[in-house]
Amino acid sequence: MTNKMEENYVKVGDYIIIQRQNYTKLHKVTLKGTVMLGKDQLELGTIIGRPVWKTYKMEPKKNGKRVFVLKECDKYESLAEQLKKDVSSGSDNRNIFDDGRSQLLSTEEIIGLRTSGLSGQAIVGQLIENSKTFRDKTEYSQEKYLKKKEKKYFEYITVRWPTIRLISEVMYRTDPVKIMGLRMDTLSQILTIVGMHSHGMYMLYESGCQGLVASAMLNNISIGGRLLHIHPGNLPQKQAIYAMNYSSDKMSCLISVNIYSFLRKLLQENSVQNENGVQVPKKEAVVNEGFVSESENDGGVIKTEDFSSDVMHRKESVISETNSLNDKLVQDSSREDNEIVEEKEIALDVVNEKKRKHSDTDENMSKKPRWEQETEKAADFLRLSKADGLVIVAREHPANILTALLPYIAPSRPFIVYCPCREPLLELYVQLKGKNSTVGLRVTETWLRSHQVLPSRTHPDILMSGGGGYLLSGIVVEGGTSTQELSLS
């Protein structure tokens, strides 16, 4: 129960979402850290050890230019509601002309008010007092003006836990190119089509998406499920995964492997089974391979051939000595006893040699790099059962990647490929149509436009994204895709 309560408190090293009105920012908490919101610098020492979903007021720091400390409060107060109470309004705006001279304060004076440490309410109050036309505006125009200024001088922030939606919105707004233009609505389509369930095993190939798709899929998997995160290069992108503050139990469901090492491991296993006609046990094959490689690389480890010849030589010496004992039965019993003791010592040396060999093999196994252990672990899962779904989000052309991974998907399971442009997906669509390994192929595009919903002011937003990418989806069936097509060209 204590651990559950601690999860709701901000700790050093946690990722949080700082929300200021409609603006959100992802930030990692440090002991004496600060964060920049526009040109305002916030000191975050106050929020450590406090619950999430708390609201804080930005109070100017003494002798600090646009540096603020946070003071916890119960709720925030709107500038429009406070400043509009004692201000009269006009009947219409017909006599108001925008000549650029209605504000008596200059730009330098307004900047001086901000750097002097005045609160947002005091600054907006000064702007109203020095405006020639504010009192002549209608009530609706005054409210619109104050909300515009409130957006600029808002003094309250809210601390929130990261969610997939918030992280997706932050990444898309910051730099859509880094996540291949993947919008939240397209991401939801991916999760829906692949049919995520908590105890399934899924494969994901992701390159150049900051780990956003992996984080979203891992969020829907509980303990007992598995996500094979396949990536090019040496290290996977996990920014979005770390941002979700997943527990160690949740992270244990994630297995990250390099695609070339992963396919090479699977192809080696297939070649061993095809040549011998018998399935070689995994553990035995790994031990032999590790021992041979270590024997070849390390000069201090005894090779198998040298070890066997040494044992045969000792056995021959034991046999010759035994024959000599039979021929010389007349010798005294003391010499007989000494030679028997010598035989036992040689046999004991042989046993100790074998034990040392096995201990060296176990030690070599424990020294395997992490990426190799993860690759073997992923191959073990695929040998037990095929995956329940496949997702490909790649900057490369997806044809070879899909051809390589499709045989490891169980029949009647879905696959989905995302691409920012449609031409690669159309080529892949034609290629899959020529085979009998998939059905229900579709190339789709989602179209999203947000709306402003207010009383008597509901309309679509003027600015919108040009597109959210394209999806190729289908279902795997028993067909003609052979394992010979697994090699990447």
Per residue in 167-183, pLDDT tens? 999 999 999 999 999 99
Q: Is 356 a domain residue?
A: yes
Token pair 């036309």 is at which residue? 133
Using alpha carbons, select from 287, 416, 255 the residue that is nearest to residue 358.
287
Per residue in 366-410, pLDDT tens? 577 888 888 888 888 888 889 999 999 999 999 999 999 999 999
Which domain range does residue 460 map to? 164-264+372-486
**Do 290 and 353 have their domain in common?**
yes
CA distance 101 to 453: 34
**Do 62 and 100 have their domain in common?**
no
| pLDDT at residue 232 in the model | 92
CA distance 79 to 82: 5
Using alpha carbons, select from 197, 254, 205, 192 the residue that is nearest to residue 232.
205
CA distance 217 to 241: 10
**Do 43 and 72 have their domain in common?**
yes
**Do 122 and 144 have their domain in common?**
yes
Per residue in 301-344, pLDDT tens? 333 344 344 434 444 454 454 445 445 433 444 454 554 445 55
**Do 245 and 380 have their domain in common?**
yes
**Do 8 and 103 have their domain in common?**
no
Contact 178, 460 (CB under 8 A): no
The total number of structural domains in the chain stands at: 4
Listed residues 126, 153, 180: the one ending a domain: 153
**Do 135 and 13 have their domain in common?**
no
CATH number, domain containing residue 176: 3.40.50.150
Q: Is 274 a domain residue?
A: no
| pLDDT at residue 297 in the model | 40
**Do 377 and 482 have their domain in common?**
yes
Per residue in 468-488, pLDDT tens? 899 999 999 986 544 444 444
| pLDDT at residue 270 in the model | 64
Percentage of the chain exceeding pLDDT 70:
74
Q: Is 273 a domain residue?
A: no
